[in-house]
Amino acid sequence: MKWSLIQLQKYRGKKVPFEQEIDVTEYLKKHNHDVRSASLVKVSGNITVRQDSVLIDLVLDGTFVLPCARTFEDVIYPYHIESVETYVNKEEKILDETHHMMDGDKIDALPVMEELLLLEIPMQVYSDNVENALSEGNDWNVITEEELEQQAKQEETKVDPRLAGLADFFDKKED
């Protein structure tokens, strides 16, 4: 997604809407090996040309296909990203990570969009289908919070038989 400054100058002070679909699946797979596939990214927004900068309101919508952290099944993860990016023509005008340098007299928003998408990928996702999930193995099993609380209460009430005689030590009054 590239725009020429000369082309955009005729819209100075006005919002120029845009909408496009882009395919960044190969880029995402290359930079994050968890991404199995991705839908086309629906990019929409507005471009506002100012005297010394260009503001781009971006909205990115689409889905990633990622592995479930428990079962390695495919999980479709939808995303909706909104961002305001500013392109400037001088390095001293870069104030933070939302400010970017123009490439001569062109604005290339694709690298920024790719970065936003990479940042949106979660570290772990979980499938709603837990039937295939492992629930026990060698010396371990999955329990619910209620079962854990029950186990804690049972262990709390058990008294070590060696210390059973001390249980009522403070209850006895010395005569």
Q: What is the DSSP string of 72-133?
A: --EEEEEEEEEEEEEEESSGGG--STTEEE-BTTEEE-HHHHHHHHHHHS-S-B--S--TTS
pLDDT for 40 equals: 93
Domain assignment present for residue 59? The answer is yes
Q: What's the number of domains the chain is made of?
A: 1
Domain containing residue 75: 2-120
The segments of the chain whose pLDDT lies below 70 read 92-94, 130-136, 157-159, 167, 172-175
Residue 57 contacts by C-beta under 8 Å, 6 or more apart in sequence? 45, 46, 47, 48, 82, 83, 84
In a domain, 167, yes or no: no
Q: Give residue 166's pLDDT.
A: 75
Say if pTM beats, i.e. exceeds, 0.85.
no
What pLDDT was estimated at residue 81? 94
Is residue 105 assigned to a domain? yes
Whether 74 is in a domain gets the answer yes
**Is residue 136 in some structural domain?**
no
Q: Are 64 and 35 in contact (CB under 8 A)?
A: yes
Does a structural domain hold residue 168? no
State how beta strands 74-88 and 99-101 pair: parallel
Residue 137 lies inside a defined structural domain of this protein: no
